[in-house]
Amino acid sequence: MLVIHGGAGTINRKNMTEEREREYRAALEQALRTGQAVLAKGGSSLDAVEATVRFMEDSPLFNAGKGAVFTHEGKNELDAAIMEGATRKAGSVAGVTIIKNPITAARAVMEKSKHVMMAGRGAELFATKMGLDIVDPSYFWTERRWKALQEELLKEQQPQASLAVEDENRFGTVGAVALDKSGNLAAATSTGGTTNKQYGRIGDSPIIGAGTFADNESCAVSATGAGEFFIRWSVAHEISALMRYKGLSVQQAADQVVNKILKAVPGAEGGVIALDAKGNFAMPFNSEGMYRGWIGADGVPHVDIYRD
């Protein structure tokens, strides 16, 4: 089983052209097929989530890798994390600007260093040393994300102006959770953060237990949304803890955190994908929409975007 998300926020039909919706649905389906192909050949859940997230990082549609949003200074600063459920090994990178696929760098931190998280210049030096794909920062520039930054900057100068920058263009994350034939879970998350973010801001995506978590005894989780709240409420680990200590199902635990705990907090908008070791999964969100999908052993991809 493989479950994915491509970000949550103000995503509704009235703001979506038919052409753009087709592009998103096609990209989500291809991401699912990419990961499922790994699982179908007996590959590990870790390989599957990495391959899936790499595909989404390479797409300009999503706020990760190629499609990352811009910081206040006009840069693209990327975060990613990966974790496997059998041993709770994990790796992450934060604030990187030249690594083409941050999720692969996160896996390298997990497997080829004694650390869990590396940030900024140090993470970039490590990735370079490991022979990962390094690109000029201009690789991440897209007109759509640059325009979103300019709109945010204009709002700062004219706070009374009626400029509605859609959450979809300001926030967003990609993520995948998978269960392989050996019964092992894995989770991966990657993001460009938030448009106009300040001073080296890091969100929940690269923080184990906040935006990313995997444990065979409970579930694998990848989150998307207002990262500061997901950090403060340890969202991914909270779902796991509710399953382990209260005996809740993955659906019950994910709903409890997203639609009760977070929903009661002003501004704590977003969603998660969560998958247990029996193949049961949940995709709750408290925003207007969330790019999401799943694919099982039959190889048929299922994708959705809106609340209804």
Q: Respond yes or no: is residue 52 known to be catalytic.
A: no
What is the identity of the amino acid at 123?
A
Measured between alpha carbons, how far is 231 from 204 in angstroms, rounded to an integer?
Answer: 5
Of 71, 173, 189, 224, which is the active-site residue?
173
Catalytic residues, by residue number, are 173
